[in-house]
Amino acid sequence: MKNTIRLFIFSIFLTACGVNPVSYYYEITTGKELRQNAPVPGEYTGLKNPIEPDQYSLMSGESTFLEYCIFCHGEFGMGDGENAKDFYPRPPQIAHTSHMMADDYLFWRISEGGEEFRTAMVAFKGRLSEKQRWDVINYVRTFMGPDGMMSGEMMSDGIMGD
């Protein structure tokens, strides 16, 4: 009974915020899962990042991210960029998901965008070189470590405060 009341109150809250509770529930239970578990198309299947995540690649990836990605994915890849509030579904928190996704999946999604999944993600295949896309993948993987903690580099850069 308590869970039913909580669900009802949460639905009222979502409605008051202008979110359709049914669409929201679908998104968190199905849409996101469908996108993250989508089979990688043949031309991308098995691709491995050929670019080492060295200083040059990370600087290049950061530059590309700041020019093309920050507005939706946010400064630290948390899906909270200035344009994110206008999108449904919201951009994913790539700071967390980039460590769970294989190279081929990330390269495919960056290259082809989100049209197939009805997201606002644009296709970057015609905008960014192959190297730039791999560099961005290297860069976003520095946001959080595989254990979910910020990397030592981020902490030393003052992101966590002094």
- The structural domains of the chain, with segments of one domain joined by +, span 1-37, 40-147
Using one digit for the tens of pLDDT, what is the confidence trace for 31-60?
Answer: 666 666 778 889 999 999 999 999 999 999
pTM of the model: 0.70
139 is written with which tokens? 């860069």
Query: 40-147: what fold?
Result: Cytochrome Bc1 Complex; Chain D, domain 2 (1.10.760)
**How does pLDDT run across 63-92, given as a tens digit for each residue?**
999 999 999 999 999 999 999 888 888 888
Rounded Cα distance between 24 and 14, Å, is 8
Q: Are 114 and 105 in contact, with CB atoms under 8 Å apart?
A: no
b (16+ CB within 10 A) / e for 138-155: bbbbbbbeeeeebeeebe
Helical residues (DSSP H) of the chain, grouped into ranges:
2-16, 21-26, 32-36, 55-64, 70-73, 94-97, 103-112, 130-140, 152-156
